[in-house]
Amino acid sequence: MRKQRPMTADDYLRLALHTGSPDAAAVYAEKGLRYASDRVDAETRVLLLREIYRSHLYARRVRSAHAVARKMVRLGVAQEIAHVDLGRACLTLGWWMRAAQAYRIAARNAPASRRALHWFSVGIALHHAEQTEEALSALDRAVRWSLNTRALHRAYAALVRLDAGELASDIDDLPERIADLEAARCGEGFGRFVLGLLHAAGGDRGRARRHLVIFIRRNQHDPMRAVTLAHELRRARLCLRALRGSAQNPSSPPPSPPVPAG
């Protein structure tokens, strides 16, 4: 009878990647990491750690996820992946400047096709930190690197300006930015959140409600998204509450979208 070869770290990684359960993936990843470090290459270790990181996020153990992401970074390989995960954990914890720095490093280590995404994340983190000029600069970089998400970055830049105190009437091309995002594929997903807040600022309560309701429904019951988009989901709910209040008094001015907590 042919003797079965022992499982390797790569075998456990394949099992972790193909199981449908984050908890099961973490179990396989832990088994893969038990091999002596000289028998597991650094990139495989990063990918195994990433499965553990994802299981922590899924279970809302964000500080544990952050600790795992730091281990990934210290391995010194797959720096784009490691810093994206570190940035996501920092952003979820409200550590805005740490998140921005992690995403900057991810952008520097990313191929051109993904740099727009990472600079957009830098802009979001700096927006939360109320660093308006720096956020707009990061979003401008996202626009320059983008191939098909420019409408989202330009619309988010308008939101940053509104949150900094500008009026909707001060942004001359705001209707154009909204229309471009409405027509773009990136207007789905996170774009719904941005559109909802921009329509609220512009006084279109109906469209604001529609986009925000869709954004909340699509993300609130997904365990991973509910954690990583917690700040946006909270803001969307606050804006909906303000819209409902203004609907009861139609003569009142449109509500300003609540500014994110710093």
In a domain, 48, yes or no: no
| Res 194 pLDDT > 90 | yes
* Whole-number pLDDT of residue 255: 55
pLDDT in tens, 124-149: 999 999 999 999 999 999 999 999 99
Is 251 within a domain?
Answer: yes
Alpha carbon distances (Å) from 166 to 83, 126, 160, 197, 202: 33, 17, 9, 14, 12
DSSP 110: S
Structural domain includes residue 180: yes
Residue span of the structural domain in which 219 resides: 148-262
Specify if 120 maps to a domain.
Answer: no
Closest by alpha carbon to 61, among 89, 32, 26?
Answer: 89
SS (HEC) of 124-155:
HHHHHCCCHHHHHHHHHHHHHHCCCCHHHHHH
How high is the pLDDT of residue 6?
A: 79
Cα–Cα distance for residue pair 49/68, rounded to 1 Å? 7
Angle 18-22-24 from CA coordinates, rounded to 5°: 70
82 closest CA partner among 42, 41, 122, 132 = 42
- The answer to the question of residue 90 being in a domain is no
Residue 199 lies in a domain: yes
Q: Identify the band that residue 97 occupies on the pLDDT scale cut at 50, 70 and 90.
A: very high
**Tokens 């009026």 — which residue?**
167
**pLDDT (0 to 100) of residue 38:** 64
pLDDT for residue 5: 73
Number of domains in the chain: 1
Q: Assess if residue 6 is contained within a domain.
A: no
Cα–Cα–Cα angle for 26, 30, 34, rounded to 5 degrees? 170
Q: Encode pLDDT of 39-66 as tens digits.
A: 789 999 999 999 999 999 999 999 999 9
Alpha helices in 75-111 (DSSP H): 79-93, 96-108
Give domain status of residue 248, yes or no: yes
In the numeric block, which tokens belong to residue 203?
């006084």
CA 15 to chain centre: 27
Distance CA 31, CA 46 (A): 14
Q: Which tokens hold the place of 89?
A: 């954990």
Polymer length of the chain: 262
pTM over 0.85: yes
